[in-house]
Structure 1
Amino acid sequence: MLFDRPLPRRVVCLLSPDVSAAVIIQDQSPSHDDPELTLVHAQLRRLDPVGQRFATVLRDTIDQLLHGEATGRYDWKSLLKTERTHAGTVVEINLQREFAFEDGVEMDYRIADVEVDCKYSQDFGRWMIPPEAVGHLCLLVWADDYKSRWSAGLLRITPELLNGGKNRDMKLTVKAEERRRIVWLWRNAELPENTLLHMDPDDRAAVFAHKSGQAKLNELFRRAQRRRIGRNVVRTVAQQKDYMKRVRGNGGSRSSLRSEGIIIMGDYRAHQEIARQLALPVPQEGEFVSARVIRSIPGDGRPCAVIDGHSWVLAGPGDPVTKAPFLPAHTVSATTEV
């Protein structure tokens, strides 16, 4: 069963041309007597109808905290305690930058002319509510890199919703039984995957076993095929300032892996169209998808794409290894390698 309880209002299925799958959105238009919450809810959904901007901010914030280019870290657990404590502030700042929220007078933001406080937690339900937020709206945000999920919702904070225990900062948490009052903007939405965190441990070890950044990247694209690989993953593996150059065709992974039949699609429109035609995840901004391909033969029922003047399909384990085609440049009419 897709949902374990009745959904309020309606469910909308959107298919964006820039994503490879339908996005299920739970329409939770507020059905209560809090006009300010209704205004803020409507404004946030107008600014980000499918939650893509929110998801990107959360992905980028986690990556910012990991700082993989300098540290090689990819796991939330490797963060220092002070870094984890600072995460909420970084989320708050990055959301304000993305959406250009006005500064609040008493709370963090002013959205639709309403004061709104922003609270983030890696652990669902562990939002720390300060005494000054009582009576105000809170934007409650959660993201879990291990589950690749995130949520964001609105709640009017009142004393009876909060647990009685107080920490030294006088901050409280929302009672578990009162979380049902949260009006969700997005609930358990998909967080862009942290590829290194979710890779097979043996494959990940093989990537980091190499000494040079270029060899590590080659191994990454060789072992993490048919899945989106974000720019920060490339940065973390390469640990070089010119990390994007290590992917390109002029000496980078694209040219290095061509002899193995592997193509690496980026966020160019022509590359995205090839990914769609091959029924692969479509790389979004700053992402790559690698896959081994082979020339199509008559009667082959697999999804195919025309690349460099010939028809190609995804190669299976039993298919021979042949040299991969050159990918088109960022303009559809170009025929040069990128």
Structure 2
Amino acid sequence: MKKILLPFGNECIGDRENQAHIVEDPRIDADLQTVYDWLLSQPIEERLTIAVNDAIEYVLDGARTWRFDLDSPEVDSDERASLGTKLQYRVLAALGLSKLPPLDTHILGIPVELKGTVRKNWMIPREGQCQICLLIQVDSANERYQAFLMRTHRLWLNDGGNQDKKRTVVAEAVRSYALPVVSWTPLPHNPLKRLAPGELAVVFDMQNGIKRRLTALFGFLPDVVIPRIAIETVGANAKDVARRARQAKPDVYAEHGLVVLMGTWPSQRALAAKHGYDISKEAWIALSPKALGDDFEIALAMSRESGRK
């Protein structure tokens, strides 16, 4: 049965409360607006993007498990569900906040609950009812996330709870009363997801050495920025995977005609940026003659020189 969404001015009482309070319009909820203004005064999209991506990488643990897709059958449901917990601590770190009772943190002295989900709704614990909550939803299939700020009044929660007595938020309440913090925003793309099944079979063929598999990876993904985590995932559990990747550069050029540039080198970062590629944060790229144009020979010399270091 669909819950009737009650308007402002009604009394609300949480499952753990003894005294009712009046539901205020979010526009005149002073504490809610104070927290909202503080969040929007931060580089909030940049910081939440980092926090969400870090939480996903933590759960996948690609450098030990060879996993790179949160929706893969190799990631069990409990691991996927744990993303919300991992995300809490990464949001705290990204925003420079401390873990403080009675909820998850304080913003300007106001208690705030942090809730993340990979589903279509959030599970609000009893202590979070009628409190200010930062709600983050991760859509891993489409590599994006969004975030809202909302006072999760009991009147705006569904009646059916799980065994921990957590309740989901009425969808219409989110649409009507939640304040948008970050609209749907892309997450960093892992190019391993671009590989066809046959290509993945080659890149993760453990009968071949890491250098051989990384050579194949660069060949399958010309002119594509490859973040460090993707390199580490292909070479999971090996020592000094970056050295193996450097050793693969001559083979990548000999077999595919591509020049590998590394983001650890400022000159190579600058050259890649000149042609529209961001390889900061220790990313890699195998560039084609078409992408480099007249700079191909310069890039080749750079690549060879760094390969000798």
Range class of TM-score, shorter chain: 0.7 to 0.9
Contact 1:278–1:304 (CA under 8 A) maintained in structure 2: no
| 3-state DSSP of counterpart to 2:142 | coil
Contact 1:278–1:305 (CA under 8 A) maintained in structure 2: no
Residue of structure 2 in register with 1:201 after alignment = 197
Give the alignment's TM-score, normalised by structure 2.
0.80
Of the candidates 227, 232, 236, which is equivalent to residue 235 of structure 1? 232
Contact 2:252–2:259 (CA under 8 A) maintained in structure 1: yes
Q: Give the alignment of 1:184-223 within 5 angstroms.
A: 184-209=180-205, 211-223=208-220
**C-alpha deviation, 1:33, in angstroms:** 1.6
Deviations 1:88-138 (A, max 9, x none): 1111112222332122221111122221111111123x2100111122111
Residue of structure 1 in register with 2:221 after alignment = 224
C-alpha change, 1:184 and 1:91, in structure 2 (3 Å) is same
Residue of structure 2 in register with 1:325 after alignment = 300
**C-alpha deviation, 1:242, in angstroms:** 1.0
**C-alpha deviation, 1:158, in angstroms:** 0.6
Amino acid at match of 2:142: K
Higher helix share: 2
- Name the CA distance, whole Å, in 1 between partners of 2:106 and 2:53: 24
Deviations 1:225-262 (A, max 9, x none): 222322211111011131122223xxx23233133331
Of the candidates 306, 311, 334, which is equivalent to residue 295 of structure 2? 306
**C-alpha deviation, 1:304, in angstroms:** 4.1
Number of aligned positions between the proteins: 277
**C-alpha deviation, 1:149, in angstroms:** 0.7
C-alpha change, 1:198 and 1:303, in structure 2 (3 Å) is closer
Tell whether 2:96 aligns with 1:121: no
Residue of structure 1 in register with 2:55 after alignment = 61
Residue of structure 1 in register with 2:172 after alignment = 177
Contact 1:282–1:289 (CA under 8 A) maintained in structure 2: no
- Name the CA distance, whole Å, in 2 between partners of 1:215 and 1:291: 18
With CA pairs under 8 Å and 6+ residues apart, which has the higher RCO, 1 or 2?
A: 2
C-alpha change, 1:183 and 1:303, in structure 2 (3 Å) is farther
Range that drifts further, 78-87 or 187-196: 78-87
C-alpha change, 1:129 and 1:293, in structure 2 (3 Å) is same
Amino acid at match of 1:190: P
Contact 2:112–2:131 (CA under 8 A) maintained in structure 1: yes
Contact 1:104–1:116 (CA under 8 A) maintained in structure 2: no
| 3-state DSSP of counterpart to 1:140 | strand
Contact 1:36–1:114 (CA under 8 A) maintained in structure 2: yes
Contact 1:307–1:328 (CA under 8 A) maintained in structure 2: no
Tell whether 2:22 aligns with 1:33: no
- Name the CA distance, whole Å, in 1 between partners of 2:163 and 2:33: 34
Amino acid at match of 2:215: N
RMSD across aligned positions (CA) = 2.5
Residue of structure 1 in register with 2:4 after alignment = none
| 3-state DSSP of counterpart to 2:168 | coil
Q: Percent identity?
A: 24
Tell whether 2:101 aligns with 1:105: yes
Q: Which ranges in structure 1 are unaligned for 5 or more consecutive residues?
A: 1-29, 295-301, 310-323, 330-334
**C-alpha deviation, 1:162, in angstroms:** 0.8
Amino acid at match of 2:65: T
Residue of structure 2 in register with 1:6 after alignment = none
Residue of structure 2 in register with 1:257 after alignment = 252
- Name the CA distance, whole Å, in 2 between partners of 1:269 and 1:40: 39
**C-alpha deviation, 1:307, in angstroms:** 5.7
Q: Bigger radius of gyration, 1 or 2?
A: 2
C-alpha change, 1:100 and 1:193, in structure 2 (3 Å) is same
Q: Give the alignment of 1:89-168 within 5 angstroms.
A: 89-124=85-120, 126-168=121-163
- Name the CA distance, whole Å, in 2 between partners of 1:244 and 1:303: 23
Q: Which ranges in structure 2 are unaligned for 5 or more consecutive residues?
A: 1-24
Amino acid at match of 2:69: D
- Name the CA distance, whole Å, in 1 between partners of 2:295 and 2:260: 15
